[in-house]
Amino acid sequence: MCGIVGFVGERDNMQQILQGMMDAIAHRGPDGQGQFIEGPAALGQRRLSIIDLEGGKQPMFNEDGNLAVIFNGEIYNFQELTAELMRAGHTFATRSDTEVLLHGYEEWGKDLLQRLRGMFTFAIWDRREQTLFCARDHFGIKPLYYYRNEDGELLFGSEIKSFLAHPGFKKELNEEQLPLYLSYQYSPGENTFFKGVKKLMPAHWMEWKNGTLTVQRYWQPRFSPDDSKTLEEWEQEIGDAMKESVQAHKIADVEVGSFLSSGVDSSYMAALAHVDKTFTVGFANKQYDETDYAKEFSEHIGVKNYAYRITPEEYWANLGKIQYHMDEPLADAASVALYFVNREAAKQVKVCLSGEGADEFFGGYNIYKEPFTVSWYDRIPLPIRRVIGAVAEKLPPVHGVNFLVRRSKPLEERYIGNTNLMDERRKKKLLKHYSSRTLPTDLSRPYFAQTKGQDAVTQMEYCDLNLWMVGDILLKADKMSMANSLELRVPFLDRRVFELACRIPTRHKVTAEQTKIAMRGAAEQTIPAKTADKKKLGFPVPVRAWLREEKYAAVVRDAFNTPAAEQFFNVKELNRMLDQHISGKRDNWRQIWCIFMFLVWYDEYFVKR
């Protein structure tokens, strides 16, 4: 696990520029660093040593020295690929999974990507062809950003903040991303909050040659339900697949631990992994505290649990640091708790397993129950539902009204992902420079088109797999673990697990009463039924309550009345929204937090720096 940076474009002081970029992401790899500079190419890497501690240094070269690679991630099938490549005549100098990328690229070219099982971003420089080739893993577990400046230079890296050290980078806010963020609570799609900076999307490669940049998708996840098996058969297959995946994800030359909340995903993971240590965070407020459960469950499976209770003071004190590490604003309050659990785990281990991906693969979100609830309402002709929804939209946004508004539209018009914080009417009131140039549905629509004819739950899963999981779940997992120099591995997000999950029929995933049906059944073979059947809580955080306390409401109000807030928002409307929440008239905490996190992030990148 590492961080990578680089650029293509000859300049004076290339070594100094590259070092500055590497220093900006030193937290991703405190164990070492390496550089390659030749002609127009500059490649840099910061290393967190996990596999082949002595021999895995980067940049790494192939036998004749023509190819140089820098790599962030882990290739879990590197041993079988190594054996296959050795049979084909390749000579390996290390035991590192990094070397598989070099020889695999020599042997198979871009087709190497179809053979990889793991989480990765990497860059290969071909010295003879003067070509840069970069790729990102199938599900987007590891991030990669890129930027082309006016001089035709290409910058790339694991984190946007590394670009700030390059004199050819022009730091400008992309304000067009703000309306999308207010709906999604994260920065969706390939564009970012920095003008010109793009994300290399999951399952994509890019190639720079002779000043031309080509970006292309190399793999597409597909759901293709198979009705031929019973629920019990699916449960058995899930159990077998997860046991194998967890063992593959434990390959390391350092100790591996596991995160543990009160949910089925992390509990199942910890039980399968047979690690020695689990890590949990909670809060003093019992409603938001999972530490007692974690201690009890850890004792049940015979491992030591390390629990930490976050105080409100330290939660709020670290918000600026956390938004800085995110690179882009993220309004998921659980990301802060994730920072602390990673911090505590990093004191004991270098690698931790976590449960991301189970909800998207196996139907875990409560919103997936919606197609099965009040289904009679959907039988009302759509034109009538649209009229009802138009009337309801003018009413205060309470629970029943929200239902009427949502169900007045077909799924592809209303569902943009697991979170839809603000509609266009709300954003028009809040924003000084509202733009409808790109609507949230413009991003989600292609995923509904690609799953046309499939059931509603499958369409929602596919949408979340491509938007929510990448933009929120995996973003915070990568950035919060790397901020603490900890490698986070996600055994659910494995190609072999997906090859199974994509064939499970919806009836074995979700009903009006239950989510993750087949996966819970598989988990029951390993953990107690009361844990396997536990209702999904997410990562509970007491922000709603804190925002009604004078001390913390004052912090937000101060932010809402800064010049930055005045620049982007209708400040009077912000304060009204906060007043409503404090008084208890409305539950506005998510909307308040979303705007507050943007302002905290903006302060980090455009006021302080």
The one catalytic residue among 2, 134, 352, 594: 2
Instruction: Return the sign of the alpha-carbon dihedral for residues 420, 422, 423, 428.
Output: negative
- Using the structure block, give the residue that is written with the tokens 């007045």: 408
Crossing angle of helices 589-602 and 550-560, rounded to 10°: 60
Q: Are 458 and 198 in contact (CB under 8 A)?
A: no
Residues in contact with 518: Cβ distance below 8 Å, sequence separation at least 6, in sequence order: 231, 234, 235, 238, 362, 504, 508, 509
2 part of the active site:
yes
Strands 118-126 and 304-310, sheet pairing: unpaired
Residue partners of 406: CB distance under 8 A and separation at least 6: 389, 414
CA atoms within 13 A on the CB side of 42: 24
Residues contacting 156, CB < 8 A, separation 6+: 4, 5, 6, 7, 123, 134, 144, 145, 146, 147, 200
DSSP string computed for 391-437: HHTTS---HHHHHHHHTTS-HHHH--SS-----HHHHHHHBTT---S
**What's the CA gap between 606 and 603, in Å, rounded?**
6
Count CB neighbours of 582 within 10 A: 18
* Matching residue, tokens 């420089």: 125
Residue found by looking up tokens 């995110």 in the block: 326
Residues whose CB falls within 8 Å of the CB of residue 89, separated by 6 or more in sequence, listed in order:
none
Q: Quote the tokens at residue 365.
A: 């979100």
E-strand ranges in 192-238 read 197-199, 204-209, 212-217
CA distance 9 to 41: 6
Write the DSSP string, 571-605. Answer: HHHHHHHHHHHHHTS---HHHHHHHHHHHHHHIII
Q: How far apart are CA 167 and CA 599, in angstroms?
A: 26
Residue 381 Ramachandran class (φ > 0 left, ψ -120 to 50 alpha, else beta): beta
Q: Side by side, which strands form the sheet with 145-148?
A: 32-38, 41-47, 2-8, 154-157, 145-148, 197-199
**Are 60 and 93 contacting, i.e. CB atoms less than 8 angstroms apart?**
no
Q: How many other C-beta atoms are found inside a 10 Å radius of the C-beta of residue 321? A: 14
Q: 519, exposed or middle or buried, with CB in 10 Å at 0-12, 13-18, 19+?
A: buried
d(CA 185, CA 586): 19
Catalytic residues: 2
